[in-house]
A = this chain, B = another copy of it.
């Protein structure tokens, strides 16, 4: 497959991989069985973004709210997160996992990566949100504005910069609490297909659209 050329590539893409459960049901499986089919799409999307020159890649693993779902679903999406990081460790990535790690639902296997870790040449920055919560993020730490009115924040995701483009699979036009501070000016592109049905063309489509958008950052 030939990778198209783009005029303007977002520096930072965030992925909302929604639709695993709907895909499973549509394919005659139990809801919880969908998550394992979401692992390869994430790795493919990462490889593609790296090739395209995207510098930073954020992946919405699971949230504190998601962790309240039926046990067998929680088990499966947790396993999918662990398997994804394992596969990522064989690639070129600079990984950090952001999420509430002092919690039973946070997988022990991923604890080392709550500190940034380079794999290979560490080319692409990856922010993997695991047991993430927007309230937890915003409340993590805090200092008031300085005398110039600038926010000096200690949000948990402080190390993650502004997101240029959010690509969401599964047809919903919402951010669902992904990095509320970093996404205030993000463009949202929605793919109707479910995440396990990921195709490289989805990313191309999103990037073709993105390059027609202006960047005003609220101005």
* A residues in contact (CB < 8 Å) with B: 63, 65-66, 68-69, 134-136, 138-139, 142, 144-145, 149-151, 172-177, 180-181, 183-190, 213-214, 216-219
Assuming the contacts A139-B151, A145-B139, A175-B175, asked whether A219 and B184 have C-beta atoms less than 8 A apart, the reply is no
Cβ of B176 and Cβ of A134 under 8 Å apart? no
Give the distance to chain B from A14, nearest Cβ to Cβ, in Å: 13
Assuming the contacts A139-B144, A145-B139, A151-B139, asked whether A219 and B186 have C-beta atoms less than 8 A apart, the reply is no
A134-B184, A139-B144, A142-B144 known; 10 other A-B pairs, CB under 8 Å?
A: A135-B151, A138-B138, A139-B145, A142-B142, A173-B188, A173-B213, A174-B187, A175-B175, A176-B185, A176-B218
Please pick, from B65, B188, B189, the residue contacting A218 in the complex, using a CB distance under 8 A. B65
Report the copy number of this chain in the oligomer: 2
Provide a sorted-by-A list of 12 A–B residue pairs whose CB atoms are within 8 angstroms. Answer: A66-B219, A68-B219, A142-B142, A173-B187, A173-B189, A175-B184, A175-B186, A176-B216, A177-B184, A180-B180, A180-B184, A188-B188
Alpha-carbon separation in the docked complex, A177 to B190 (Å): 19
- Identify the 5 closest CB pairs spanning chains A and B, nearest first: A65-B218, A177-B184, A173-B188, A180-B180, A139-B145
